[in-house]
Chain A
Amino acid sequence: MLNKVVDTMIIEANLGRLYALWLREFKVFLRERSRLIASTFTPVLWLFVIGSGFGSTHPSTGVDYQKFIFPGIVSMSVIFSSVFFGSYIIWDRKFDFLKSVMVAPVSRDTVFIGKTLGGMTTSLVQAAILLAIGMAIGINLNVLSLIQTIAVVLLLSFALTSVGLAIGSYIESLEGFQLIISFVVFPLFFLSAALFPLKNLPGWLFFLTAIDPATYAVDALRNAIIGTSIHSFALDVGVLAAFTIAFAIFGSYSFRRMKAV
């Protein structure tokens, strides 16, 4: 009986901590307007410049190219915001904020999950802005496709925030940031087939797209938003979920072994 009471108290306390950590991330996100504007602006630029630049109807898909890359652009925004969000842990560490959290009786896993929740929220807000723009250029969404989109965005964001956190926990200096952009963010994006269809690819490229978790998110989003895809929605989400679990385990492991000072 007493054990039960204590257990519920511990759970409550941990939920409170999670909430507090999440709230901090969310508030900072809302206050750092420049970050929000910049990270929304880039995908929009891609959508309109690349999307209209190639203009014509794409031969292999039969859909307007701008509409065709729209799901890819949504995943692009998730890829960028999630990985960046995770690796922002470098800043938290640099400015000792993380130290003040770690000296509190909070487990590393709680801090880790709080961060990923923050990353997921950020990605969701940005995806929502893009979806609103998408509606304006003629993308039709029903309730089911909206729910599917949200689910995929959350999964991908969870996976990639974990990746960002893992990398951030190994890197000490802010210069490492540039490496993350070149070697993680861009490959994840370009190899995800966000800008081209998955059909008729050369073997090596097909292989690389197959091991990029974002590929499955792009495919699932195409399925949900414009109704064309290579795999079934269930398969895409299944593979994505497997990646997510693996990355979350890797991320929380890295986070646990990170030095506090």
Chain B
Amino acid sequence: MSNGYFVGWRTFQIDYFYFFKISRHNTLIYISIDCLIAIRDLVKRYDNLTAVDRLNLDIHENEVFGLLGSNGAGKTTTIHMLATLLKPTSGTATVNGFDIVTQSAKVRGSVGIVFQAPSSDDMLTGYENLKLHSWLYSVPRQVREKRIAEVLDLVGLTERKSDQVKKYSGGMRRRLEIARGLIHKPKVIFLDEPTLGLDPSSRESMWKYIERLVKEEKITIILTTHYMEEADMLCDRIGIIDRGKIIALDTPSKLKGMMGGDIVKLKLVEKKRPNTDMLKNFSFVHKIENISDDGLLVLSVDNASRNLPIILKYIDAESVEYTIPTLNDVFLRSTGRNIKEEAEGGFMEKYARYEQK
């Protein structure tokens, strides 16, 4: 069953969660969802600013979903609404089958969240913070210690568990937050900019922890970021969010594919027209162009790094050059702006606050 909209009645299937809604035309729209999170027309308005603007999104079980957007795009607002910390102005969403507006306590019990800024208690040790939350989430007594040990190990903090959090580095704090978010074995975890304010090497190690998390815990991850390479590297699917709206949604490679694939430029050995008929037979070749007299052949292909050797079997080239479209190109094309051009005000402010702690 797909996650589409079906108009009219269908028989119930127990293993899927169903979502009902009366449409504007008074017909019952019956939406079947084989996904963990279903966001429907979600809106959050602050005074005269619409932070989240009629958002619709389905997130499947066990996927890593990335919300990619610049400062102020509405990522945090969306996550706060999904975690029931913020009431939507209108619209709703279901998380693990619970409605975020009417069943907020149940939603909270089944999700974990790592906030943009660390939120553990500085005066307590890492272990004590985890213990506190294991009580808050009513982790059964018999498994409590085991679970705490598990999550500590997962984020590599076992050795520092008895240190007060104020003695932790920024990266360690982040990891502790992740451990805390996992303490009750949630089905979904939200990571709001998990690598914000980390130096390149801690960022890379954070990526490793997140990948490990994907492998070891059966969990759906929704992460927000404004780093292209982060989204590209970690996520199964990416939604690009801008001014509260999803403006592009797909797998990283398909998003990049939207740009027409990788561009390969070959400088031919002989300046005569090469025989390109063979290339046309490959499905990875989209376009062959610019067969100009100065001996330049330009191809548009999928996965240039892998397919280049094949191309070179048929074409004698003196030199080769290829460019891979980045998510930034996608962002640029969808918004007309560069993701890095955004005012960094919000980010720096949050970063400063992060440092301060």
Contact = CB atoms under 8 A, between A and B. Distances in A.
A38 interface: no
A99 to B, nearest CB: 6
Given A100-B115, A104-B136, A105-B108, A20 B123 contact: no
B187 interface: no
A104 B123 contact: no
Interface stretch (A26-34, A70-78, A121-129, A222-230): A26-34
B135 A97 contact: no
Contact of A99 (B115, B133, B136): B115
A17 B138 contact: yes
A106 B104 CA distance: 11
Interface in B112-147: 113, 115, 117-124, 128, 131-133, 135-138
Interface residues of A, number: 26
Interface residues of B, number: 30
Nearest to B135: A20
A32 B131 CA distance: 20
A99 B85 contact: yes
B128 A96 contact: no
B357 interface: yes
A95 interface: yes
A137 interface: no
B136 A96 contact: no
Contacts of B138: 13, 16-17, 105
Nearest to B105: A105
Given A28-B121, A97-B121, A99-B115, A104 B133 contact: yes
Contacts of B105: 105, 107
Given A260-B85, A261-B80, A106 B123 contact: no
B119 A96 contact: yes
A144 interface: no
Contacts of B223: none
Contacts of A31: 123, 164
B350 to A, nearest CB: 11
Interface in B293-352: none
Given A100-B180, A105-B109, A20 B136 contact: yes
B288 interface: no
Contacts of A21: 132, 136
B122 to A, nearest CB: 8
A100 B109 contact: no
Contacts of B117: 96
A19 interface: yes
A21 B135 CA distance: 9
Interface in A63-117: 95-97, 99-107
B219 to A, nearest CB: 17
A248 B256 CA distance: 58
B124 A99 contact: no
A20 B132 contact: yes
Interface string A179-221: 0000000000000000000000000000000000000000000
B121 A24 contact: yes
Interface string B77-116: 0001001111000000000000000000110110001010
A95 B357 contact: yes
Given A96-B115, A261-B80, A28 B85 contact: no
B193 to A, nearest CB: 14
Nearest to B131: A20
Contacts of B121: 24, 28, 97
Given A16-B135, A20-B136, A99 B119 contact: yes
Nearest to A104: B136
A19 B124 CA distance: 15
18 contacts: A17-B138, A19-B135, A20-B135, A21-B132, A21-B136, A24-B128, A32-B123, A97-B120, A99-B119, A100-B115, A103-B113, A104-B133, A104-B137, A105-B108, A105-B138, A106-B136, A107-B105, A261-B86
Closest 3 pairs between A and B when the two form their complex, measured CB to CB: A20-B135, A96-B119, A105-B109
